[in-house]
Structure 1
Amino acid sequence: MLCGEDVIVLVIDDVNIIQHDTFKDSVKNFRIVCRLWRNRSSESVVDSNRDNNWKIPEQMQLKLEECLKGKSYTLFKKHSNLEIISVSAFRSKKHGKELVFDPCIVLYCSCKGVVPYSEEEFPKEIDGIKIDVREGFFYLFPNNHFFKRSTDLLNPLMLGANIGQQGEKKEGTLGGFVTLSNGKIGAITCSHIFFDVNSNSPSITTFDVVQPSFGYKYTNEICGQHEKYVLPSNTAQDVTIDASLIRLTDRIPQRGMFADLKAKDLTEFGFKIEKLPEYSNGATRDYCKEQRNRMNACIKCGAGSGLSRGFLHLNGFAARCRDTTFSLTNPPSQEQCTYLSQLEIVGTLQKAFADFGDSGALVFQVDPPSTEDGDDQLFCIGMIVGGTSYCTTVVTPIEPVLKALNVKMHVFPQEHMDES
């Protein structure tokens, strides 16, 4: 219902789909309300354009995050039109035209002001914390639009490489290198670049992985074999995992170097062109257990959008991922899964942190050098799975991923760490 009126809400991807504004049955006419999937409402960009001088106090931030981790699963079960649960330093008034500093939980829905039939309205507050309702969507970051960019055959392989399943036109990013149980080197990425996240038991799970992806000029240069996967579950859990393990068979790396580095991006983000950044020591930071260094910048190098810089916004982000195969449908009828206890990263005003094709890319927190002549230290904090309609990036914490796949980040021998 909308303002006491019975309506039909359609979430669509083309404004020309609907030819009439009413749906007639034998009794009455219903008004149709259309919402464009991924359309950015004025309120949805509140956090993207917020004043960085207005920060949520640390204790309040921790309180908000604990509330999200405890209530997200129940909220998704009760409200079928709920898409994202996040936090904001501001409450939005007059459709985003007026902002009031008041840390709150934000519920993003597919159509604001609409209450699905037989369901309750969103709560006004949770555990004493105020609620702000906005429109927004969550979506994954695989890339089916393989023709948008070029990717070289990489030998040896590098972090951020474009990869895919042999013979398939879907692609993603080689995230990082890991040590397998037999001591050999493997790689990790997101499982949704290979499988439907709503499929409980894929029919084929062992197959060749190519770099670059088959979609890039229809190449089939095999670099490894898919060995293990973990798909999101629709049951209550601590952290939702969406990850795949690849056993490398060709072009084995000797260092953790990055692909697609541009001089402009390197200098802008404070790196030295004569000494390229690398991730060879396997260092991680577990945000499931620690909260330190939250304000340090984050970087990622993805096959879709290259090198980018951002900051950790939230630990405890949750969202519902719907099957987007059908656009003219009632949301509760769609296949769906929830991503719980994720990290949320915000980019800069000049560039979003991630885009399509970046699924699987690792996210690193950058600690400044401990000495004047030292190097920045990279700590892996997670792996990109998707993003929101208001341009933030969703990242799965790295330690649960490694545990689920039963691997560790690969540490390259020190003798290979000479300068480029």
Structure 2
Amino acid sequence: MNMTKSGTLGGFVTLQNPERQCFLTCAHVVLPIAELTKEKLGKYARKREIKVADKQKIRRGSVENIEFKHGTVHEVSIDAALIEITEQDRKPCNGEFAKVYTTEQFSGAGFSKENMPNFVKGEVEQIKMYNFRKPVLKIGANTGITLGSLKIGRSCARIFDFQDVVIEEKFSITLCKQMEVLPQIDPSLASDSREPFIDIGDSGSFVFFISHDNPLVLRCIGLAVAKTSYGSCIMTPIDKVFDALRLPHDCLSKFTKDVAQSEMYQSNLKDIFNTILTDVSSNMATKDDIKNINQEMKKINERLSTTESEVHMLKETQKDNAI
């Protein structure tokens, strides 16, 4: 059956033995409802080919594992799929997000050109008593960057027993033991005009805690599954997704700068450094010129020292990995 569906690739997963690259999203994003409701879904759907398209490229993959269970009050509902990327030239090479967000969303969330949104460390964070009030963020294919907060119970983030949600037109399910993310409140807007935290096309997004380090650090806390009638997000805690798909809790892909790329940057800095020296020796310089050149030289020296340090650390890391 050929069918086009919309959703978001939540994040990349690196598996071993054999080594392969995958991504996580919602089960209802990759398979039609008629197939999701089949008995022995995992066995039926395993290795089924999936084509994932965005504005720039198409990734071909196959179903590595899938879970679609709901409606049992005493169990955590799961709507999740692990898709192996089968085309070598379509595998991710960095932890940057697709630019699906607006300039206003980008700056409003605290990012800048020097601090672009990324998930290079592949870190996760469990929701505990001490961190449940942290600000929350998601980057979805449809609505881009949205900010919010976990819905709170008496003294911690609230886990609700059940919630009826619409997955597709004329098809709804009951999700149990989930968490809820409320959209950020903008006091300048009327309550009926506030933007939802997620919308159609955002299912499968990762939901993150924001750590206000410099630069900002994102740590995954869950998978966005569905939207409520009032604009909040139903989220499955990420550790429950890992457990259901039998994944290790440190499986999210980690990206580092390429050594060759860093050495090229280092070489370029040295070329600039030498060009400035040549210009100084071949031209009569005024006191102001010399002052400006000294300032530029100081900046370049600082950048050069930082880059050399990065290259050294990357090489040492590669030696350790080789051992």
TM-score by length of 1: 0.51
Match of 1:229 among 66, 75, 82: 66
CA–CA distance in structure 1, aligned partners of residues 244 and 70 of structure 2: 13
Residues 259-298 of structure 1 correspond to what in structure 2 (within 5 A)?
259=98, 260-287=100-127, 290-298=128-136
Deviations 1:100-146 (A, max 9, x none): xxxxxxxxxxxxxxxxxxxxxxxxxxxxxxxxxxxxxxxxxxxxxxx
Compared CA separation, residues 323 and 179, structure 1 to 2 (3 A) = closer
Partner of 1:347: 183
Q: Quote the RMSD (CA, aligned, Å).
A: 2.9
Q: Is the 8 A contact 1:228 1:245 kept in 2?
A: yes
1:301 corresponds to 2:139: yes
Match of 1:388 among 215, 228, 232: 228
1:252 corresponds to 2:91: yes
CA–CA distance in structure 2, aligned partners of residues 388 and 285 of structure 1: 24
Deviations 1:31-76 (A, max 9, x none): xxxxxxxxxxxxxxxxxxxxxxxxxxxxxxxxxxxxxxxxxxxxxx
CA–CA distance in structure 1, aligned partners of residues 49 and 38 of structure 2: 20
Q: Is the 8 A contact 1:198 1:336 kept in 2?
A: no
Give the deviation of 1:338 after TM superposition: 2.4
CA–CA distance in structure 2, aligned partners of residues 341 and 252 of structure 1: 34
Q: Is the 8 A contact 1:254 1:412 kept in 2?
A: no
Aligned-partner SS, 2:133: coil
Compared CA separation, residues 239 and 179, structure 1 to 2 (3 A) = same
Give the deviation of 1:261 after TM superposition: 3.3
Match of 1:379 among 208, 216, 219: 219
Which of these two proteins has the greater Rg computed from alpha carbons? 2
Compared CA separation, residues 272 and 325, structure 1 to 2 (3 A) = closer
Aligned-partner SS, 1:299: strand
CA–CA distance in structure 2, aligned partners of residues 323 and 413 of structure 1: 33
Q: Is the 8 A contact 2:165 2:227 kept in 1?
A: no
Partner of 1:414: 256
Give the deviation of 1:322 after TM superposition: 6.2
TM-score by length of 2: 0.65
Give the deviation of 1:190 after TM superposition: 0.4
Code of the aligned partner of 1:257: E
Give the deviation of 1:204 after TM superposition: 4.4
Number of corresponding residues: 237
Deviations 1:170-202 (A, max 9, x none): 121100011224332210000012142544345
Match of 2:21 among 181, 185, 192: 185
Match of 1:208 among 34, 39, 49: 49
Q: What 5-or-longer segments of structure 1 have no aligned partner?
A: 1-165, 327-334
Q: Is the 8 A contact 1:343 1:395 kept in 2?
A: yes
Give the deviation of 1:167 after TM superposition: 3.6
Give the deviation of 1:325 after TM superposition: 5.8
Aligned-partner SS, 2:50: strand
Partner of 2:9: 174
Aligned sequence identity (%):
28
Give the deviation of 1:316 after TM superposition: 0.6
Compared CA separation, residues 306 and 322, structure 1 to 2 (3 A) = closer
Q: Is the 8 A contact 1:382 1:396 kept in 2?
A: yes
Code of the aligned partner of 2:132: R
Q: What 5-or-longer segments of structure 2 have no aligned partner?
A: 153-157, 187-193, 266-323
Aligned-partner SS, 1:414: coil
Compared CA separation, residues 346 and 322, structure 1 to 2 (3 A) = closer
